[in-house]
Amino acid sequence: MAKNRELLMVTKRTLYSWVLGRNLRWQVVLVLLVLLTVGSRIVPLELQKRIINQAIGMGNEDLLLFYCLLFIGAVFLASSLKFAINLLQAYIGQQTLKRMRSDLFDHILSLPLSFFRTIQPGQVVNALINELTTISGFVGSAVSVPLINVCTLLAMGGYLFYLNPLLAGLSFVLYPIQIFLVPKLQQRGNEANRYRVKISRIISGNIGEVITGVHEVHGHAGYSVENEKFASQAQSLLEANVRMNAYRYGIKFANNLFENLGPFILFLVGGTMTIRGHFDLGALVAFLSAYSSLNEPWRELMDFYQLLEDSRVRYKNV
């Protein structure tokens, strides 16, 4: 009885309860790696400015070589740390996936026989094998992805204000609009995805029933009835997929649009300031590089939000 009560708790656990638990030690290591990575990303930006203004501007070849070696070293360090973070995220996700599958399988074995009379084997297999895979990816990145990207945005934003407060302010004007618009589209996309999953499960159940009772279909000449039923469900699934893809690609369109509007403002305003002597060329190059570096963490945050919502839907359905 005690074992059964423990197994029943598997279905009552929240999605975030899998994030820490036995993964706490590895999550702490991830946090430390993230902090080192964020710091190493700022160094190449400052070195770009110094290479142009000091080494190239003063014609100092020794200083140029020194700064270039520092630059490639900082880039290699940041790339190596990112590689380590990705490996550790994958390890945490796979370890959690193994535990989730084992616990859920133990729970399924403890269920009464009435459950197995009303459920298709394919649904159980799909829940154990396919549905949990996306969830494990979320668990592995639940701490590191938002942390590294939020910290990177703050660090890059601070560096931009350090270079030029006016340009930095103009470059961040578009983000509130994006923050408001993209989650709205994502919410509609999640609703469409939930409907798609619902239709897919209905079709899977219908196919299982037809295959199991195919002798009755033959005996009662129910070909046309089953074909019409399946055609209607397939049409509903088609419409659900089209609607979900419209929202998905709409989100990508919005993100790409906002990513390119920022550089347009910077080239126009920053270029004018450089021509008039109010902003040096090295600082402008560093500013543009820093602003371009904002796109990756922002995009990863949007992808993480999408993964979070998708994982919530899948976890609830499992």
Instruction: Give the model confidence (pLDDT) of 225-241 as tens digits.
Output: 778 888 888 888 888 88
List the one residue out of 141, 153, 134, 138 whose CA is nearest residue 33: 141
Taking residues 107-123, what's their average pLDDT? 75
Residue 102: which CATH number?
1.20.1560.10
Q: In the structure encoding, which two tokens stand for residue 301, read together?
A: 């945050």
pLDDT at 83: 93
- Is 99 within the bounds of a domain? yes
What does the alpha-carbon distance between residue 261 and residue 162 come to, in Å, rounded to a whole number? 22
- Is 315 within the bounds of a domain? no
- Is 289 within the bounds of a domain? no
Does residue 23 share a domain with residue 131?
yes
* Residue where a domain terminates, one of 114, 137, 163: 163
- Is 287 within the bounds of a domain? no
List the one residue out of 92, 86, 88 whose CA is nearest residue 19: 92
Does residue 148 share a domain with residue 36?
yes
The helix (H) or strand (E) run that includes residue 191 is helix 174-212
What does the alpha-carbon distance between residue 44 and residue 68 come to, in Å, rounded to a whole number? 9
Does residue 217 share a domain with residue 154?
no
Evaluate if residue 60 carries a pLDDT over 50. Answer: yes
Residue 39 burial class via C-beta count within 10 angstroms: exposed 0-12, middle 13-18, buried 19 and up? middle
- Whether the full predicted model's pTM is greater than 0.85, yes or no, is no
Give exposure, 240-264, as e/b (b: 16+ Cβ within 10 Å): beebbeebbebbeebbeebbeebee
